[in-house]
Amino acid sequence: MLIVMKPSATAREVDAVVNVIQAVGFRAHPMPGATRTAIGITGNEGPVDGRRFEDLPGVAEVIRVTKPYKLITLDLRPEKTIVKIGDATIGGSELAIIAGPCAIENRDQAFAVAEAVHKSGARFFRGGVWKPRTSPYTFQGLGDKGWEIMAEIRDTFGLKIVTEALDKSSVDLVEHYGDVIQIGARNMQNFSLLRRAGRSKLPVLLKRGMAATLEEWLLAAEYIMAEGNYNVILCERGVRTFAQHTRNTLDLAAVPAIRRISHLPVIIDPSHGTGNAYMVTPLARAGVAVGADGLMVEVHNHPDLALSDGAQALTPAQYAQLIDQVSAIREISVANW
Ligand code: PEP
Ligand code: MN
């Protein structure tokens, strides 16, 4: 159930509604918007009797939610969510660029890539410290030494750190060393991890599971938001299909499909979405043209020597070219939306 407050409702009236929601044992999620505040209710297993709220001062409307999700919806928040990370944003007017290697391999590699992506417009640096690899015999990440490197990169370049939390305990480490918690495709339905991230103060970048429907993905975001963390960024990174010319099939239609339902920002990862370096720039262009709020791109100073995902890594020069091209497209597309 959603309670929409009148545009004239006072903060005191909003608080009074929140108190009633809590008094009956539910959780209230007030979402202030440009014209009005709406309050989502979670924690109820069955339908909530809306009559209890209808006559409270300041209430405009009580809406029964028939969809499986509540907090991600445009009904709750008609304006897009803009996630703020220091002086950078995701979901606002700037195109958010998150770039870096698949994995932090060593200090020299991480610094070389960070310097290059910083020079060409990235505000966010990505890189796995622990990697969720398909085979237990491949490089699993540098491990805890990687956190210090990330922290140094943040200090040196002012880049915001986006890195994956593989489990609940690594959320603590990302909170300490990073700026955005990445939840990977393989963990999209790790519900205890989602709940833990939902209790964090950091924004969460939630990748789409490799076999997840849009609804499953949005419900995973709902898990995070239901815990009180409303700063969720969705990342389309391709799903598994019968196609063999790509590692995954990048579902660009997810961008307008999400826009129709949700206020959350959505970005595109053309690196995991294709698996081939030569496809990354064309699909990045397409992602921006279709209205993505940003891109996550893997870059390596020596793709041939990369310890993970070298085949899809761009060189710094290729990355710089990608940025030039997508910036031009962003300008045209934003002007015409
Ligand atoms: C990654 O971004 O390094 C990664 C492992 O991606 P995904 O979870 O999309 O496979
Ligand atoms: Mn990777």
Question: Same domain, yes or no, for 27 and 90?
Answer: no
pLDDT exceeds cutoff 80 at 24: yes
Residue 75 belongs to some domain of the structure = no
- Whether 89 is covered by a domain: the verdict is yes
- Give the whole-angstrom CA distance, residue 280 versus residue 273: 8
Does the pLDDT at position 337 exceed 70?
Answer: no
CB under 5 Å of ion ligand 2: residues: 102, 309
User: Does residue 32 sit in the same domain as residue 178?
Assistant: no
Instruction: Please report, for the domain that includes residue 219, its CATH number.
Output: 3.20.20.70
Query: Whose alpha carbon is nearest atom 6 of ligand 1?
Result: 184
The residue whose CA is least distant from atom 1 of ligand 1 is 102
Is residue 73 assigned to a domain? no
Tell me the best of 237, 239, 250 to mutate to test the pocket of ligand 1, counting ligand atoms within 8 Å of each CB and taking the most: 237
Rounded to 5 degrees, φ, ψ at 158 are 70, 15
Q: Are residues 43 and 181 in the same domain?
A: no
Protein residue whose Cα sits closest to atom 4 of ligand 1: 184
Residues 298 and 244 both lie in one domain: yes
Same domain, residue pair 27 and 113: no
Residues 58 and 168 in one domain: no
Q: Are residues 213 and 311 in the same domain?
A: yes
- With respect to residue 263, please indicate whether it lies within any of the assigned structural domains: yes
Examine the fold and report which residue of 33, 63, 93 is the final residue of a domain before the chain moves on: 63
In the predicted structure, residue 47 carries a pLDDT above the cut 90: no
The number of domains in the chain is 2
Q: How far apart are CA 116 and CA 51, in angstroms?
A: 58
- The answer to whether residues 128 and 25 belong to one domain is no
Are 174 and 269 part of one and the same domain?
yes
| Whether residue 118 has pLDDT greater than 90 | yes
56: containing domain = 2-63
Distance from Cα 185 to the centre of ligand 1, integer Å:
6
Does the pTM surpass 0.75? The reply is: yes
How far apart are the CA of 226 and the centre of ligand 1, in A? 24
Phi-psi sector, 77: left (phi>0), alpha (psi -120 to 50), beta: beta
pLDDT one-digit tens code per residue, 53-67: 999 999 999 999 888
Atom 3 of ligand 1 has which residue's CA nearest to it? 102
* Model confidence at 8: pLDDT above 80: yes
**Residue identifier of the C-alpha nearest atom 9 of ligand 1:** 185
| Average pLDDT estimate for 228-241 | 98
Q: Hey, what's the torsion of the CAs at 233, 293, 271, 143, to 10 degrees?
A: -40
Among the bound ligands, name the one nearest to the CA of residue 237.
Answer: 1
Query: How far apart (Å, rounded) are the C-alpha atoms in residues 247 and 150?
Result: 28
The domain boundary residue, chosen from 63, 96, 112: 63
The alpha carbon of 126 and the centre of ligand 2 are apart by a number of angstroms equal to: 10
pLDDT tens column, 275-294: 999 999 999 999 999 999 99
**The two structure tokens encoding residue 23:** 């008094």
What are 78-104's pLDDT values in tens digits?
999 999 999 999 999 999 999 999 999
Shared domain check, 310 and 230: yes
Domain co-membership, 257 together with 151? yes
Indicate whether 220 pLDDT > 80: yes
Ligand 1, residue 272: give the atom nearest the CA.
9
What's the Cα-to-Cα distance from 131 to each of 22, 127, 185, rounded to whole Å?
40, 9, 12
- Quote the pLDDT of residue 206: 99
- The set of protein residues with a Cβ atom below 6 angstroms from ligand 1 is 102, 128, 132, 184-186, 207, 237, 272
Query: Residue 28 is part of a domain; what is its CATH number?
Result: 3.30.70.1140
> Binning pLDDT at 50, 70 and 90, where does residue 49 land?
confident
Q: Per the domain annotation, does 318 fall within a domain?
A: yes
Say yes or no to pLDDT of 148 above 80. yes
Mutate to test the pocket of ligand 1, among 139, 180, 182 (most ligand atoms within 8 A of CB): 182
Q: Which residues pair with 89 in a beta bridge?
A: 84
Cα–Cα distance, 81 to 263 (Å, whole number): 5
**Whole-angstrom distance, CA of residue 321 vs CA of residue 285:** 11
Distance CA 174, CA 277 (A): 28
Confidence of residue 6 (pLDDT cuts 50, 70, 90): very high
Q: Does 158 reside within a domain?
A: yes
Q: Counting ligands in written order, which one lies closest to the CA of residue 309?
A: 2
Q: What is the enclosing helix (H) or strand (E) of 39?
A: strand 37-42
**Residue whose CB lies within 8 A of the most ligand 1 atoms, among 113, 131, 142, 164, for a mutation test:** 164
Assess whether 287 and 171 both reside in one domain.
yes
Residue 33 lies in a domain: yes
| Residue 68 lies inside a defined structural domain of this protein | no
Q: Which of 63, 92, 115 is the last residue of a domain?
A: 63
